Structure 1
Amino acid sequence: MEQRTREKASRAVSDILKAAGFDVHHATAPLDMSAIRKNTYLLVMCTDDPEEAYSYSDTEYTIRVGQEEKVCEKLLVTFNPSITADNCLVWYPEEFALYAGEAVLARVLNKTLVLPLDGMEESSSYKARGSHEPDTSVRIPHLPVRVHRDEAEEKAGIPGVATLRFLPYWMFRYSCRGCAAYKDQNINFDGDGSGALNAINGALSDIDADTVTRREIPDGSEIAKPSINRDDAEVKITRHLISSMTKRVRIRQVKGDAIFYEEKNLSPDPDNISLDLREIYIPVWQIKGKKIVEINAFTGKRLIEPLDDGVEVF
């Protein structure tokens, strides 16, 4: 996120934490703030940078309290829905908006907001809605559902009932640095890009990471199991990138009165390609009749080859 946006987000998070009774202090970059309330020691980072978020998630922070060292909890605030962080609490735009609104209401009612953070005592008389109730909804990173059931059934052109399925993909970003040379020919392979690999059949496609959301998926949806794991996906993607970046060079040689041409393929070194993979899901309406027809629930396009693998129902 831009610096000005980060500063605004940081101020808003500070107001939320203060409404929850935290003592908030500015922290040294790349952190944005620290907050303390009773036995809860919290660090906060606001960022849309995947590398910065990953480093933050992967780092353990401690604070000395008396003669003891306490592990700090971590809050990551991001407006980039493609970011995941396993080792800290994450607020995406939905959570950010919810708690910002709840904080305003708590201040109007002169109450102390209770946030869903570990280590906090629920002594407050005002709690954010649902913050301490069991959450049975399923959230996965996925493209939004833009095509409704009726529209999908109409597009299918066959009688049958549509079922919403979420197909697994490995979304990747790559960076290539390096070159290859042969005689007087020199090919530069520097470049960056992104794409996605279908985790069931290995097909490659383009996906805009900015469209990925982490909202709850509809009840009764099916989540297809991937058959291609992360390691195999990296191998397939790397091979694809090498193939797509390979250049065929033609070298002209003159020997006496004869002119010869030599052709050679130059490819980037696999070690010069770095990959960042994230699992996401694409929603698909599956209509089962005399045959199976599948409609991409994000684009509305019909899939050429329907996928009919095992699923888990949520």
Structure 2
Amino acid sequence: MEQRTREKVSKAVSDILKAAGFDVHHASPPLDMSAIKNPTNLLVMCTDDPEEAAKYSETEYTIRTSQGEEICEKLLVTFNPSINSDNCIVWYPEEFALYAGEAVLAKVLGKTLVLPLDGSEENSPYKQRVTHDPDGGVRIPHLPIRIHRDEAEEKAGIPGLVTLRFIPYWQFRYTCRGDAAYKDQNINFDCSGSGAMNAINSAFTDIDADSITRREIPDGSDISKPSLSREDAENHILNHLISSMTKRVKLRQVKGDAIFYEEKNLSPERENFTLDLRELYIPVWQIKGKKIVEINANTGHRLNEPLDDGVEVF
């Protein structure tokens, strides 16, 4: 949509949300606004551009609250009927016109508009008439499935029962600030990074955090239960980071005619770290035949050791 049209649509959406009791604020491009009404944290984009809408759909936004980090709901307002999104509430012209009219009516009657995105269950004549089925499927933060079933079976090289499993991981981002000194040696540990740790066997892996999606997972998939709690995961991750960043320094000392060497490990302290953890699932194709073979459904890599077989079917 043209910029002038987008501004008009954005203004109308703002009025709709305000009529529903949301606290609305302008947001930096490409977003149009943010809106808060306990317990809903909502972001809004108004666009007819398929690429812009797709990027918005695939991006996960979070907000830090007193309860910790919470995932934001996303509203996409578009007049382009070819645009679809599995990860957003979508308002096409019909919904937009409906809610705009109901917002005006609610204002005239002195009532609060009830929208399907604010979690309200009370009876109201202003409820949504075009429903988005809340039971349409399971949504979890996961890496996208890029390897199809047939390709996974070919990579496995054995016939057998094929199941799509979602393996729990703890995705983490960290920042370390500090240094350590011993005699005349000083090591600076200032750095930042990210990674993921398997929530079942504590194995570490690198991931593309920008590709994480919350699309519905296929019916019949298995979601494995994590074995490590958040607290346990934090301890494992911090120990791993401290170990990987430890430096061994060698000191040379001369005493008379003798030369001595002293070696010592210098490590960052736990309090030097700021750690942020989030749940993440990695899709894996499991082929059960004469043996069990598992193929990472995101990268296509074969797992060296299949995980345990404890799964929960959704």
Aligned pairs for 1:277-288 within 5 A = 277-288=277-288
Summarize the Cα distance change of 1:158–1:180 in structure 2 as closer, same or farther, 3 Å threshold.
same
Specify the alignment match of 2:118 in structure 1: 117
How far residue 92 of structure 1 moved from its aligned partner, in angstroms, is 7.3
Q: Which amino acid in 2 is paired with 1:256?
A: G
Asked if the contact 1:296/1:303 (under 8 Å) is kept, the reply is yes
Unaligned segments of structure 2, at least 5 residues:
45-55, 77-84, 104-114
Asked if the contact 2:225/2:311 (under 8 Å) is kept, the reply is yes
User: Which one is further off, 158-167 or 114-123?
Assistant: 114-123
Specify the alignment match of 1:153 in structure 2: 153
Alpha-carbon distance in structure 2 between the residues aligned to 1:225 and 1:202: 13
State the Cα deviation string for residues 160-207 of structure 1 (Å, max 9, x = none): 131100000000001100000000111000000001000011100001
Question: What is the TM-score of this pair, normalised by structure 1?
Answer: 0.74
Unaligned segments of structure 1, at least 5 residues:
1-7, 25-34, 49-55, 62-70
The answer on 1:23 being equivalent to 2:3 is no
Alpha-carbon distance in structure 2 between the residues aligned to 1:125 and 1:41: 14
- % identical aligned pairs: 54
Question: What is the TM-score of this pair, normalised by structure 2?
Answer: 0.74
User: Which one is further off, 107-116 or 199-208?
Assistant: 107-116
How far residue 294 of structure 1 moved from its aligned partner, in angstroms, is 0.3
Specify the alignment match of 1:36 in structure 2: 18
What secondary structure does 2:154 align onto?
A: helix
The answer on 1:185 being equivalent to 2:179 is no
Question: Paired residue for 1:76, among 42, 58, 61?
Answer: 42
The answer on 1:99 being equivalent to 2:100 is no
Asked if the contact 2:142/2:280 (under 8 Å) is kept, the reply is yes
Asked if the contact 2:73/2:88 (under 8 Å) is kept, the reply is no
How far residue 230 of structure 1 moved from its aligned partner, in angstroms, is 0.7
Alpha-carbon distance in structure 2 between the residues aligned to 1:108 and 1:92: 15
Alpha-carbon distance in structure 2 between the residues aligned to 1:72 and 1:82: 17
Alpha-carbon distance in structure 1 between the residues aligned to 2:21 and 2:100: 24
How far residue 82 of structure 1 moved from its aligned partner, in angstroms, is 6.6
Question: Paired residue for 2:73, among 72, 90, 96?
Answer: 90
Summarize the Cα distance change of 1:106–1:295 in structure 2 as closer, same or farther, 3 Å threshold.
same
What secondary structure does 2:202 align onto?
A: coil
What secondary structure does 1:41 align onto?
A: coil
Asked if the contact 2:40/2:117 (under 8 Å) is kept, the reply is no
Summarize the Cα distance change of 1:108–1:130 in structure 2 as closer, same or farther, 3 Å threshold.
closer
How far residue 293 of structure 1 moved from its aligned partner, in angstroms, is 0.4
Aligned residues: 269
Asked if the contact 2:74/2:88 (under 8 Å) is kept, the reply is no
Alpha-carbon distance in structure 2 between the residues aligned to 1:166 and 1:84: 25
Summarize the Cα distance change of 1:108–1:237 in structure 2 as closer, same or farther, 3 Å threshold.
closer
